[in-house]
Amino acid sequence: MTKAPQSSSDLPKISVPARRALESVGVTTLKQLTDFTEAELLMLHGMGPKAIRILREALKSKGWSFRESTKAGKMDRTIRTHLDNIRSADRELQNKAYHFLMEKTEKPVDWAYEAWDELVEGLTHKDNHVRAISSQLLANLAKSDPKGRMFKDFDKLLNVTRDEKFVTARHCLQNIWKVGLGGKNAQQLVVKGLEKRFKECANEKNGTLIRYDILVGLRNLYEATASSEIKEKALALIELERDTKYKKKYADVWRDLTN
């Protein structure tokens, strides 16, 4: 039986999957739970009604509670404005929108599906900045996707890692691992997609950088999930590299986890 890691956290005793679900969104203390609604937490892989009940009682004992839900499925005006500004010709407005929305989507949100289609459309927008921002936001929204829409749209997201503008491709590549925070099936989707890119990019102009970013992304996902399957796949991909210089560079990404 897997034991929960030792921690100085004041969170009550809950299952290991539920505790990992909280850690995936940066929650390690009881007070941090007040930033979330119950609905947002239930979207997390590993979080169930029993854990929510235990957490609710723990909050109540301190005089606290989960954050109150706004009207379901209704984003506020500020979020709507920033989503519109992603397509602004004003780079300052576009950049502010990017930073605001990336911060908002680090935690589950209840307006994901109101933004979903326009972000998918943004993946092929004529402005490469829009393509880059849309891809990063979609990757962040995977943790807010209980309906599993990412499984239909993942190939469109992965295709941005082949963008004609390498800076756009790289922004997507460095964030696409976050799709795996949507649960076990999403992890497998990401690993399969990144394995495909690792193999096919060998002869691309920036192939070595792509391979490096893929291995860093897999490490990030491994650290967030502790999935041995991800580690095994990453190490197997490193063995495919024939150039000893780059093979060593890739191995260094995982060095402290393989000793």
Measuring CA to CA, which residue among 117, 84, 86, 109 is closest to residue 99? 86
Question: Helix, strand or coil for residue 69?
Answer: coil
* pLDDT computed for residue 9 by the predictor: 74
Phi, psi of 233 (to 5 degrees): -65, -45
pLDDT of residue 258: 62
What helix, strand, coil percent values describe the chain, rounded to 5? 70, 0, 30
pLDDT for 7: 46
Residue 59 · residue 33 · CB < 8 Å: yes
206-239 burial, b at 16+ Cβ within 10 Å, e below that, comes to eebebbbbbbbbbbbbbebbebeebbebbbebbe
- 77-258 maps to which CATH number? 1.25.10.10
Q: What is the model's pLDDT at position 37?
A: 84
Residue 21: exposure state from Cβ atoms within 10 A (0-12, 13-18, ≥19)? buried
Domain residue spans of the chain: 16-61, 77-258
What pLDDT, on the 0 to 100 scale, is given for residue 74?
A: 66
Q: What is the pLDDT of residue 3?
A: 41
Judge whether 218 and 179 are in contact, CB under 8 Å.
no
Residue 66 DSSP symbol: P
What would you measure as the largest C-alpha separation in the chain, in angstroms? 60
Angle 216-217-220 from CA coordinates, rounded to 5° = 90
Quote the pLDDT of residue 75.
75
Segments in the chain below pLDDT 50: 1-7
pLDDT at position 8 is 56
Residues of the chain with pLDDT > 90: what percent? 67
The pLDDT value recorded for residue 5 is: 41
pTM of model > 0.85: no
Res 130: pLDDT: 97
